[in-house]
Amino acid sequence: MSAAWVSGFVSIKRLSRYLIAAGRGLAVEQRGNVLILTAAFLIPLLALIGSGIDIGRVYVARSRIQQACDAASLAGRWAFSQGQATDTATAEALKFFNFNFKQGSFGTASFTPSVTVTGTNTKVVTVSASTTLRLTIMGLFGFRPMTVATTCTAEQNFVNTDIVLVLDTTGSMKDKATSSDTQTKIEGLRAAVLALFDQLAPIQTQLAAAGMRMRFSVVPYSQTVNVGKLIYAVNTGYMRDPAPYRQKVCSSTGWNNNCNGYTYPATSVSHNASWFTNTWNGCIEERQTVSTITASTSAIPAAAYDLDIDRIPDSDTTRWVPYDGDAETANSQEACPQAAKRLQSWARADLVTYLNSLTPDGGTYHDIGMIWGARMISSAGVFADSPATYNSMPTNRFVIFMTDGLLSTNSTLYSAYGMEKYDQRVTGGDLSTQDARHHQRFNLMCSAIKNRGVSIWVVAFASSLDTNLTNCASNAGQASTSANSTDLTTKFVEIGKSIGAMRLTQ
């Protein structure tokens, strides 16, 4: 409370004592008048009530000016992040201030807020405002108008930023989200990713100017992922060769030598260097896992090397197997998405070309997508692409997971886990639990990523969010649905704004 208010209250207290003493004197002398006494006591009572009213007005005015100041500084700083000049950013800040606090509100005197900008690469916007508020009732007792002032500062604290996009490119992405959409879902996804890139482009430029970086990785997924040639480029010994594949073998023949039955034994197949370089599409089968993971499993088993994010291959059980549809002849359904991309800085034209190459096909195995999202964003492991710091500055890390459907597996698909009907790597033979077991692998991987300080966003496109998808996100606000292509673009822009958000520093 200000000295003026304290002084005022002391004066009122003295006045009250004087009037009470005078009233007692009147009563003793029996010459008092009820009307006089009532009037005497009304004066301090009015002063006390009036002080409460005026203090309330001052409090509300100060709060509203503070809110306007915060909004103005953030708006000005955001204008800079979009590449605007100082004059434009200043005008934007003033516009937001005046929108949130009208001149004359709550009886304040007319004033003009000031906006100052400091810094070269890292702009800091400071907004200051000061005015006076005329006291309605306490003014009758000689109190002068009170000063209401505030100062607020907004800046964008630049840090290195790594973003991994784990994108569902399964067969249903060739459809439209709604009949009214002009684009298929894969076309809508391309537009949304570009909108995210464009939203963050000014910040990417400013980071580069400050000696830092913003990078993107893309992991398209279906029933497997296409990361094999990335692994092979790091170390050819990380791929297992020879490797076992299920092959269709005639088990019996009839009188005319036609085959009456088949078996599908695991048969060792070797590949030469030319096959790896020229023939192989790059998709992989995951390394050794265990079939003991169920819906209630709470920790990753030690022998589940497929879920070990950072383990460097040192034996056949820890190496990846080339996905080879020619070798896997057990009447399985194949699908291999577009090759994934490691963390890198992108030119927009290159990103457009890459996104246009994404082709919908295959089943929906969320776990394999998130497993490789984890490996791409990891600071260790086979790629070790995302160190905690770069140029002595920290790195913020994000995974954006987009799917157009709930997890859906099939025992006859040739997936990253072979052909489950015969290989039984995930279910151990209980095929009825296949989806539930893959769900839990997905859940375990989401938890492992978040435990590393990585922020996860989950977007369901033309689909609902189940508990697994919702819980995968870092918080409830980072799990959402998009009903159509326009909504998806809007959501990706919102994510971009959050990743590049400013903060108030005062």
Q: In this predicted model, what pLDDT tens digit does every residue of 166-176 receive, in sequence order? A: 999 999 999 99
pLDDT at position 53 is 74
pLDDT at position 8 is 41
Question: Is 27 buried (19+), middle (13-18) or exposed (0-12) by CB count in 10 A?
Answer: exposed
Pairing of the two strands 414-415 and 418-419? antiparallel
pLDDT at position 1 is 39
Contact criterion met (CB below 8 Å) for 199 and 500: yes
Cross-strand pairs, 269: 243
Q: Sketch out the chain's domains with CATH numbers.
A: 3-155 (no CATH), 160-243+281-504 (3.40.50.410)
Which token pair is 99? 């929108």
Closest CA to 457 of 203, 192, 178: 192
pLDDT at position 43 is 62
pLDDT at position 257 is 78
Question: Is 141 buried (19+), middle (13-18) or exposed (0-12) by CB count in 10 A?
Answer: middle
Over its C-alpha atoms, the chain yields an Rg (Å, rounded) of 34
pLDDT at position 39 is 59
- Amino acid, res. 13: K
**HEC string of 59-112?**
HHHHHHHHHHHHHHHHHHHHHHHCCCCHHHHHHHHHHHHHHHCCCCHHHECCCC
| 367: three-class secondary structure by DSSP | helix
State pLDDT tens for residues 28-87.
444 445 556 565 566 665 555 656 676 778 888 899 999 999 989 888 887 876 667 788
pLDDT at position 11 is 45
- Amino acid, res. 312: I
Phi and psi, residue 395, nearest 5° = -120, 125
359-to-40, 257, 338, 354, 402 alpha-carbon distances in Å: 88, 42, 7, 11, 15
Closest CA to 288 of 266, 320, 314, 265: 320
Contacts of 77 (CB under 8 A, 6+ apart): 89, 123, 124, 125, 154, 155, 156, 502
Cross-strand pairs, 150: 129
pLDDT at position 474 is 97
From first to last of its 506 residues, what are the pLDDT tens digits of the chain? 344 433 443 444 444 554 455 555 544 444 445 556 565 566 665 555 656 676 778 888 899 999 999 989 888 887 876 667 788 889 999 999 999 999 999 889 999 999 998 877 667 899 999 999 887 766 666 677 888 999 999 876 678 999 999 999 999 999 999 999 999 999 999 999 999 999 999 889 888 988 999 999 999 999 999 999 999 999 999 999 999 999 989 888 877 778 888 899 999 999 999 999 999 999 999 999 999 999 999 999 999 999 999 999 999 999 999 999 999 988 789 999 999 999 999 999 999 999 999 999 999 999 999 999 999 999 999 999 999 999 988 999 999 999 999 899 999 999 999 999 999 999 999 999 999 999 999 999 999 999 999 999 999 999 999 999 999 999 999 999 999 999 999 999 999 988 987 555 55
